């Protein structure tokens, strides 16, 4: 590197190549001077006049570029924390969404918008009514999101190396998200059934154990997975759109793939909104399968509603085409902060845990 103050004879105030010094010795001494080593009398002024050597700031571990630094355990812990926080913070809005997706709601449970619904629920049913069922949701969200993010990270890298070595593949991102959904929904579906039954207006269940016992005794164990195929039918395209949108936005907002809270929040929020709007009809059918609402209504439908085809047919019979988009406002409003929280918390804990692991390894 050329230094200021070097003329034909070398560095001002410092050693220079001359008859008694080889070029190799001069280069070595120049290197010492650049690092501030070897300054003696007569060398201090020259060292003081030198421009500081530019050093890269400590930006922390580039965890996206260092898969070896983020272990499966890291992804699982970060994912579990993100899932629990996401569901806990957004649970009141989730309660409103479930009610607004009701095909034939009670007159007292017909709401114009999310804020009005939340206010009326609190005013008429109590402050804690929108939080009923939160405990079972948090219990299911931890392991479900741990499997979800760990599987996604592993498959994303493996498939990207095959499809686009050394780069990012949107096909790999979407495929990894679809496979991760299989594990997530298998762990989360029973909690979803219990949660949504407790969220409905005039729900007879006040405790999770009461709901679980009643469903088990009256409908059998299969009731906890009655909506599983529908859940997958909804979540597979949802997660494919979600992950592809998130990774696409990260390429534009965060091309270095470093820890960037603002880019994670923005990308997560946009990805959640797009995916939520596109898959609302499937979510309405899933809610119907989970709650079996028609059994409590004066309808021509007998027995349990099972399967996607039956759910789609029932929704159309009861409310027409517009019924497929019931609660779309609440769903989008729920997903925007929900996915923003999930991604920002996940990336933060992944960054934090990876950094601590690297510091621990370096200290050994």
| pLDDT number for residue 303 | 65
| Residue extents of the structural domains in the chain | 227-326
> How far is C-alpha 149 from the chain's CA centre?
8
Give the pTM.
0.69
> How far is C-alpha 68 from the chain's CA centre?
21
Q: How far is CA 30 from CA 3, 45, 51, 127, in A?
A: 9, 15, 14, 72
Task: Describe the chain by its helix, strand, coil percentages, rounded to 5.
Answer: 70, 0, 25
Round to whole Å and give the CA distance between 350 and 361. Answer: 16
State residue 18 phi and psi, 5-degree precision. -150, -170
What is the DSSP-derived secondary structure letter of residue 52?
P
Give the mean pLDDT of the chain. 80
Comparing 110-119, 143-152, 162-171, 354-363, the range with the smallest average pLDDT is 162-171
Round to whole Å and give the CA distance between 300 and 134. Answer: 33
Kindly tell me the burial class for residue 40, based on how many C-beta atoms sit within 10 Å of its own C-beta (0-12, 13-18, 19 or more).
Answer: exposed
| pLDDT number for residue 302 | 58
Instruction: Give the percent of the chain with pLDDT over 70.
Output: 78
Please tell me whether residue 7 adopts helix, strand or coil conformation: strand
Round to whole Å and give the CA distance between 126 and 135. Answer: 18
Q: Do the Cβ atoms of 284 and 326 come closer than 8 Å?
A: yes
Judged against a pLDDT cut of 90, whether residue 118 lies above it is answered with: yes
**In which band, very low, low, confident or very high, does the pLDDT at 346 lie, cut at 50, 70 and 90?**
very high
| pLDDT number for residue 17 | 46
Judged against a pLDDT cut of 70, whether residue 38 lies above it is answered with: no
């Amino acid at each position: 590197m050329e230094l200021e103050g070097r003329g034909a004879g070398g560095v001002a105030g410092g050693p220079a190549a001359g008859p008694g010094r080889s070029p190799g010795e001069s280069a070595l001494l120049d290197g010492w001077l650049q690092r501030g080593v070897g300054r003696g009398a007569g060398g201090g002024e020259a060292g003081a006049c030198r421009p500081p050597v530019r050093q890269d700031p400590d930006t922390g571990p580039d965890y996206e570029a260092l898969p070896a630094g983020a272990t499966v355990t890291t992804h699982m812990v970060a994912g579990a924390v993100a899932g629990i926080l996401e569901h806990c913070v957004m649970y009141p809005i989730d309660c409103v969404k479930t009610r607004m997706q009701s095909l034939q709601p009670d007159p007292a449970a017909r709401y114009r918008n999310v804020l009005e619904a939340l206010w009326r629920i609190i005013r008429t049913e109590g402050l804690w009514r929108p939080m009923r069922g939160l405990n079972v949701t948090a219990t299911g969200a931890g392991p479900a999101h741990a499997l979800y993010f760990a599987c996604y990270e592993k498959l994303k890298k493996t498939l990207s190396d095959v499809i686009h070595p050394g780069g990012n593949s949107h096909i790999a991102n979407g495929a990894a998200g679809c496979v991760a959904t299989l594990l997530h929904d298998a762990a989360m579906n029973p909690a979803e059934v219990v949660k949504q039954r407790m969220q409905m207006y005039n729900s007879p269940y006040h405790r999770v154990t009461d709901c679980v016992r009643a469903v088990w005794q009256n409908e059998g164990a299969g009731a906890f997975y009655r909506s599983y195929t529908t859940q997958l039918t909804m979540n597979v395209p949802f997660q494919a759109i979600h992950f592809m949108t998130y990774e696409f936005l990260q390429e534009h907002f965060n091309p270095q793939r470093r820890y960037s809270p603002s880019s994670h929040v923005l990308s997560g929020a946009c990805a959640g909104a797009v995916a939520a709007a596109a898959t609302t009809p499937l979510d309405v059918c899933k809610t119907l399968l989970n709650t079996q609402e028609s059994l409590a209504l004066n309808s021509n439908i007998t027995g349990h509603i099972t399967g996607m085809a039956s759910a789609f047919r029932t929704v159309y019979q009861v409310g027409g085409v517009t019924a497929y988009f019931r609660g779309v406002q609440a769903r989008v409003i729920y997903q925007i902060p929900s996915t923003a929280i999930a991604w920002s918390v996940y990336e933060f804990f992944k960054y934090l845990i990876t950094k601590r692991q690297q510091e621990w390894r370096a200290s050994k």
